[in-house]
Amino acid sequence: MKRSKLDIVYDMLRAMEDKGGRIIPTHLLYKSNLSHQRMKLYLKELEDKNMIVEVEVKGKKMFELTDGGRKFLQNFKQMKEFTEAFGLS
């Protein structure tokens, strides 16, 4: 079954959240189950929408959740729970 764009974004942001709000690109690639090229496109869009920022920690490139990304996660989780409760997922 093909994942929707929203599901992919949710998976990426949740992977960051699961790693304490910050993740290295390689781990994100594995956790999001995307090709490198597709992941780059999603990362650019998430940065453009201020849901994540690129940071450098101890010389390593990482991506970090912003408050906007955390808010999206919170709202999307609620929406998923709601739709599942009514058998709409």
Q: What is the pLDDT of residues 46-72, one digit of tens each?
A: 999 999 999 999 999 999 999 999 999
**Residue 67 belongs to what domain range?**
5-85
Based on the structure, what is the number of domains in the chain? 1
C-alpha distances (whole Å) from 55 to each of 14, 63, 74, 82, 85 are: 18, 6, 23, 34, 38
pLDDT in tens, 5-49: 999 999 999 999 999 999 999 999 999 999 999 999 999 999 999
pTM: 0.91
pLDDT of residue 1: 76
Q: Which residues pair with 53 in a beta bridge?
A: 64
pLDDT of residue 81: 94
**CATH number, position 35:** 1.10.10.10
